[in-house]
Amino acid sequence: MTMTDTERPAITPAFQHVSAVRKAKNLTATVLVWLSFLIAVVPLVWVLYTVIEAGITRIPYTNWWSQDFGDVLSDEVGGGVLHGIIGTLLQGLLCAVIAVPLGILVAIYLVEYGRGTKLARVTTFMVDILSGVPSIVAALFIYALWITTFGFPRSGFAVSLALVLLMVPVVVRSTEEMLRIVPDDLREASYALGVPKWKTIMKVVLPTALSGIVSGVMMALARVMGETAPLLVLVGYSGYVNWNMFSGEMAALPLVMNNERVSNPIGEGTVGFDRIWGAALTLVLIIALINLAATVIAKLVAPKTK
């Protein structure tokens, strides 16, 4: 025998009455959250507006993207930052080629093989220390090791080595977090089918976490591309395009800004002012494109759900 709807006991709905105190607390928390959000956003919008307003005068010109400063006098209107763009991209790309595999392999060891081991604890401690190392310290270390001890010349490759020290801990941390959120059920299901651990990592764990790993890598790359200290210590400024990472002076967008600050007056309306803010806006646009590419790639490689 089953009860009809009229015979079933009525279910008392939850939260029939919300007290005034709870409503006040909820309103206070909501206001504080929105206020904190606005406090964080206002400086960001202010900085972005300032960079766009001051740097937009040079961006629309074609020669800004297709020429360098090699044949232009320091105080002469004209030229472009092609040499800085190429230097920034080359140094960042070489840094990523070294740092990304190294960081991902370290993260795989920490999550998949070294849980609870003494070596994993030491590695985690060293990664934490490395993540707090200032960029100038990383640059001085590479200068002492690569240039002073080994005798190699100052070059774009030395800059990339310093950037590797700054990028590796970010890649390790982001990849480690992405691997940890992969459900253990997927690993156990793969092991139950007789799949070796290394193949489980390659075919199951990494593809599942790949979208987050890509986003973390792109964010780390965008972060190191704006560093200035390694450029000042490890390579000299060149107004010409230099494709050789192992020899000769090489420009980068942060180095272009510093050179213009030193060699030209930077009052509003001057050549130096326009070049500095134009290079700053160019760097912001490149980083924005990298972040956009990270978002698109992460969506493309994310696991498909029905």
Query: Does the structure show a pLDDT above 80 at 35?
Result: yes
Task: Place 295 in a pLDDT band, splitting at 50, 70 and 90.
Answer: confident
> Which amino acid belongs to residue 100?
V
CA pseudo-torsion sign 189, 194, 195, 198: positive
Kindly state the tokens that stand for 287: 């980083």
CATH of 62-301 among 3.90.1660.10, 1.10.3720.10, 1.10.10.520, 3.40.47.10: 1.10.3720.10
Average pLDDT over residues 197-215: 89
pLDDT at residue number 2: 54
pLDDT at residue number 7: 59
> Could you say which DSSP state residue 303 is in?
P
pLDDT at residue number 54: 86
pLDDT tens, 241-287? Answer: 889 999 889 989 999 998 888 877 667 767 778 888 999 999 999 99
Residue 289 near residue 270, CB atoms below 8 Å: no
Q: How far apart are CA 207 and CA 114, in angstroms?
A: 21
pLDDT at residue number 145: 94
pLDDT at residue number 57: 84
Kindly state the tokens that stand for 264: 């030209």
Task: Place 15 in a pLDDT band, splitting at 50, 70 and 90.
Answer: low
- Percentage of the chain surpassing pLDDT 90? 43
Q: Is 194 left (phi over 0), alpha (psi -120 to 50) or beta?
A: left
Average pLDDT over residues 50-74: 81
Answer with the residue of higher pLDDT: 109 or 68. Answer: 109
Query: Does the structure show a pLDDT above 60 at 218?
Result: yes
Q: What is the DSSP string of 184-208?
A: HHHHHHHHHTT--HHHHIIIIIHHH
